[in-house]
Structure 1
C-alpha cells in the first residue's frame, strides 16, 4: 500500500549547482555558509544573541517559522528574548547540513536538517514535543562575507496528529498556540504546494532573481 504521508518521489532539484567537491575556494565558501546555518541551533539556543545576529545581513533579512511569519531578524530576536523570559524552552538539533553554491552570482542555499524540541509545562506535568524539519537559508556573499538574507522552514513530521494544523507540525503548532503564539497555518510541509514553491525559490535565488524569490516567499513589501 502506498504511503499516505510521504515526500514526493520525483526529482525536486533538477538544476545542478556547486554542491560537492569543486575548487578549494568553492569548498571554503560552502563551509562558510554551513557555519551560518549552524548559528541557529548553537547561538540561538544559548541566547548568544549578538553572535546569532552576526549570521544575518544588516538590512531586510526575514524569516518564517510556525509563529513568526515574514518577521525581520531584529524583531524575531526581540520576540525570542521575551518568549525565553516567559519560560519558553525551544532547542534545535542539527541532523546534517549541505550547501548549493552559485559562484557566478555570489548566492548560496543552505539546507539544514534539524529536530525542534519544545518543552511545554502543564499542571503536574512536562511535555516535550519534537518536530523534524529542514531549515532553508538563502545566503548572499558581500564585502562583509557570507550572510543570511532569508530563512524559511520546511516541516516534515512531528509525533502527534491533531486537526487544524497541516501535516508536519500539527502537534507543535497546537502546543505553541496553547501557550499564546499567533500561529501560521500555511507553511511548507513535505506534502503541500509550499514544498515545491520553496524549491522553486531556491533555484531562483541561486540564479540571482531577487524579485521572484521575494514574491514566492511573501517578503514584506513585495
Structure 2
C-alpha cells in the first residue's frame, strides 16, 4: 500500500491554491479601482488596467488611457462621482477571468439651479487576463439596474423634462438625465437587469472565459 497524496490529488490541490490566489488578487484589483479612481490617484489607477484595456459607461467608450484622462479632467473640474462595492463573484479559467461586483454610484450635480444626488445601483462586469504574472482589466462594462434622484436641500423641488427622462433605460434614467444636463453625451443601449443587451453581455463574457480573442468583447462597446 502506498501512502501520501497521489499525483492527481496533488495537482488538484495546487490548482485549488492557485485559483484562490488568483481570486484574491482580482478582488483586490476591483477594490483598488474604486478607491484610486475616486481619490484621484491616477498613476495607481492606471495599474489596474492592461494597456489595451477598455471602459464602457453611460458617458464613455474607449481605451483605459482616455478613460483615465477623462476622469482626471472631471475630478479637477470639481465633478463629484463616488463608487462603492458590495458582493464580488469571480470565475477563473487559467489566465482568463470574469468578475461581477455589486456596485453603487453616487453622482452630484445641478439641474436648473437645484443641487441633486443621483444614486445608481448595479454591477460591474469585468473581463480580466493574467499577463506576465499580473492580472489586469481588459474590459469593464457596468450593468445599470436601478436609480433615483433626490434634491440635496430638503424641500427643494424639481421640474424634470419627462420626455428626456423617458428617453433613457429604466436602470439609469435619472443618471442619464443628470449627465445630459451636465453636457455629457449619454449612450442609451447599455445593459440592465434583463433584456437583449444583458443576454449579449453574458454570451460575450462566456466566450472570453472559454478562450476567445479580445474581439469577442468589441460588441459590448456601445455604438
In structure 2, list runs of 5 or more residues that go unmatched: 1-14, 150-161
In structure 1, list runs of 5 or more residues that go unmatched: 1-21
Moved over 6 A (4+): none
> How many positions carry a matched residue from both structures?
195
Task: Give 1:34 deviation, angstroms.
Answer: 1.3
**8 A Cα contact 1:117 1:129, kept in partner:** yes
Kindly indicate which of the two structures has a greater share of residues assigned to helix. 2
1:143-182 per-residue CA deviation (whole Å, 9 max, x = no partner) reads 1411111111111111258310011000001101100111
d(CA) in 2 for partners of 1:174, 1:219: 18
d(CA) in 2 for partners of 1:55, 1:219: 22
Are residues 1:140 and 2:142 paired? no
Residue 202 of structure 1: which of 205, 208, 221 is its match? 205
Larger mean Cα displacement after TM superposition, 178-187 or 120-129: 120-129
Relative CO higher for 1 or 2, CA cutoff 8 Å, sep ≥ 6? 1
d(CA) in 2 for partners of 1:201, 1:175: 30
Give the aligned partner of residue 98 of structure 1. Answer: 89
Larger mean Cα displacement after TM superposition, 206-215 or 126-135: 206-215
TM-score by length of 2: 0.82
Are residues 1:114 and 2:142 paired? no
TM-score by length of 1: 0.82
d(CA) in 2 for partners of 1:159, 1:219: 23
